[in-house]
Amino acid sequence: MLHTSAGQSGSSREKLLIQRAEVKQKEVCPLQEEARKLIEERAQLRNASEEDLTQSLSKFDGYLVQVLRIKHSLEREVVATARDNRIHRERRIKALHQHR
């Protein structure tokens, strides 16, 4: 969607952005699976030792840090793409006005 509004459909930039998104998706999938396992195991935590509970919380914290890192990276990419789109639109508008 972002690339189409910038007039970059099919461009190498579009392909690069798609590849980056796919890489990030591959990073998230294992984290998603681990989170599902932790959710399934939460009932067992009531009877878990303090050591097991601490280990589970540490895992969860690690996953949270990874997910937040990926989220922030995606947010930066969205902002950069929006900026690039705005610059492209402004150039196109300026070029159209100069030809009148």
Instruction: Report the domain count for the chain.
Output: 1
Whole-model pTM: value is 0.61
Q: What is the pLDDT of residues 65-96, one digit of tens each?
A: 988 998 898 889 889 888 988 998 999 999 98
In angstroms, the CA 17 to CA 77 distance is 9
Full domain range(s) for residue 37? 2-98
In angstroms, the CA 11 to CA 27 distance is 25
Question: What's the confidence (pLDDT) of residue 10?
Answer: 63
